[in-house]
Structure 1
């Protein structure tokens, strides 16, 4: 076999082996690497490249070396799941670099980080003013986790006293003009319902690049032709507007009638409708 063909075959074989070993080790190897994972990746890659290029090396020796090394990594990672000391040794632990709004210079020096590098990491978190940070930790992966001071944290619905809205992830039901029946079944819909929703917007399935259904059951689509404007669904805002009109009518009837019993019925139902609207408004607003 010619040398160039031997290298090509070895390259394909080790590509498959490395792919299988990476799948075995899991997605963690693809995320931000710890020191141990960084060294492991370099070592496995070095073994593969050495056997691929050096034709004097036996290919099976390289494969056995990668498999043994990968299994050893897997066993250490499993052990680290149950032993904190092993986890701290292998993956490292976080280092506090800002506490009570003050930078801990000694901890920064310990991790060989400069002030400029700390500011750069904070900017990556959209934090440009150091005085806004209450607490920050330098993670083993090299990223920084920061807790802003209370005055600089984003306002939440709870802060405003609003009813919380629990949302589920949207389901993709159309992709590249093809209907995904499994996703439709998951949310209790069918093709008939989907076609009816598309007909409301005068859209054919073949023109849809991506279609998703949110937690409220509303369909949103992105078309292949970006020049075509897709109108937003007005069903929920229209329902809210009708409820407000009904409440106003009930209050008006209560003022207009001379019957005391009818007045009480109208007023009572207007209050019930108002309470219902308070609960439903977060869901019905567009």
Structure 2
């Protein structure tokens, strides 16, 4: 048998043996990796080390061995896509550790997991009390997913019955003084509107802006080339005041969307309009101050 044939057979045998050993060791030893990644990482690292310190062995054998170990997981991954049964055999199944608030001791033993190790995983998921945990599952990757009981989960706007406007990914609309018109148009704004917004934050023209980002609610973050003026205490205080006014306006609009009484709704809208006018007056004053 040729040297390369011998390397191939040894590689196949080594892969199978390491795979079996990794399965026996359990999922907790391969956290955030598949069995393939775990054993291939060990094998290729060992081959590379042997290549460095064994000059008497032909380099072609080492390289062929590395290629074999790199190909194995690729082939097996394709097989997993084709066969659910093979995927279950190679990757295993998730293991329920806590169900309906009760620890399943037999499953802990199955995964060679101690109570102390379980508590570490739970604390990493902000679950410090076992009484707060509804269920916990060790995934195929070795990570543990935790679902808390309903009475200790954070209250969401949906739980409170509030209607919240959906937020979307923010968009960069300016880089190096250049307006990205497509991103701006995607949100339905014009260059004139953007110029007014960056002017409120200390810019006199587009060329003064290094970066500008807009969110789905029309709030604009601006970073100027000259940050010295925007970092002055007086300017910071005015920017904070403007941001608070803008937030108050958004809150008033949100409340007006939730109330059902028509008269009350109009009152909230009127107050929101006053906040908007106050915001524009303060912004104009800030621009005048910055130009002097």
* Shorter-chain TM-score tier: 0.5 to 0.7
Aligned residue pairs: how many?
225
Any conservation in 1 of the 2:201–2:222 contact (CA below 8 Å)?
A: no
Whole-angstrom CA distance in 2 between matches of 1:218 and 1:50: 58
Q: Give structure 1 regions of 4+ aligned residues with deviation exceeding 6 angstroms.
A: 204-209, 223-226, 242-245
Correspondence for 2:32: 32
Whole-angstrom CA distance in 1 between matches of 2:199 and 2:69: 58
Structure 1: gaps of 5 or more residues: 1-30, 246-267
Correspondence for 2:218: 217
Deviation at 1:242, TM superposition (A): 8.7
Whole-angstrom CA distance in 2 between matches of 1:180 and 1:123: 46
* 1:189-228 mapped onto 2 (5 Å cutoff): 193-203=193-203, 211-221=212-222, 227-228=231-232
Whole-angstrom CA distance in 1 between matches of 2:152 and 2:134: 10
Whole-angstrom CA distance in 2 between matches of 1:244 and 1:145: 37
Structure 2: gaps of 5 or more residues: 1-30, 277-292
Correspondence for 2:170: 170
Correspondence for 2:67: 67
Residue range with higher mean Cα deviation, 163-172 or 230-239: 230-239
Whole-angstrom CA distance in 2 between matches of 1:124 and 1:134: 16
Whole-angstrom CA distance in 1 between matches of 2:65 and 2:207: 51
Any conservation in 2 of the 1:243–1:273 contact (CA below 8 Å)?
A: no
Correspondence for 1:10: none
Deviation at 1:119, TM superposition (A): 0.6
Any conservation in 1 of the 2:213–2:220 contact (CA below 8 Å)?
A: yes
Residue range with higher mean Cα deviation, 31-40 or 105-114: 31-40
Q: Does 1:138 align with 2:138?
A: yes
Whole-angstrom CA distance in 1 between matches of 2:201 and 2:138: 50
Name the CA shift for 1:74/1:244 in 2 (closer, same or farther; >3 Å).
Answer: closer
Any conservation in 2 of the 1:172–1:180 contact (CA below 8 Å)?
A: no
Q: Pairwise CA RMSD of aligned residues?
A: 3.9
Correspondence for 1:101: 101
- TM-score in terms of structure 1 length: 0.62
Name the CA shift for 1:187/1:105 in 2 (closer, same or farther; >3 Å).
Answer: same
Name the CA shift for 1:186/1:53 in 2 (closer, same or farther; >3 Å).
Answer: farther
Correspondence for 1:255: none
* 1:1-286 mapped onto 2 (5 Å cutoff): 32-173=32-173, 181=180, 183-184=183-184, 187=187, 193-203=193-203, 211-221=212-222, 227-228=231-232, 229=236, 230-231=239-240, 233=243, 234-235=245-246, 237-238=248-249, 270=263, 273=266
Deviation at 1:90, TM superposition (A): 2.5
Any conservation in 2 of the 1:210–1:222 contact (CA below 8 Å)?
A: yes
Any conservation in 2 of the 1:132–1:149 contact (CA below 8 Å)?
A: yes
Task: Name the SS of the counterpart of 2:166 in structure 1.
Answer: coil
Whole-angstrom CA distance in 2 between matches of 1:72 and 1:180: 49
Any conservation in 2 of the 1:98–1:134 contact (CA below 8 Å)?
A: yes
Whole-angstrom CA distance in 2 between matches of 1:157 and 1:183: 29
Task: Name the SS of the counterpart of 1:212 in structure 2.
Answer: strand
Whole-angstrom CA distance in 2 between matches of 1:243 and 1:154: 21
Whole-angstrom CA distance in 1 between matches of 2:67 and 2:85: 26
Correspondence for 1:8: none
Any conservation in 2 of the 1:213–1:219 contact (CA below 8 Å)?
A: yes
Whole-angstrom CA distance in 2 between matches of 1:114 and 1:173: 52
Whole-angstrom CA distance in 2 between matches of 1:51 and 1:107: 42
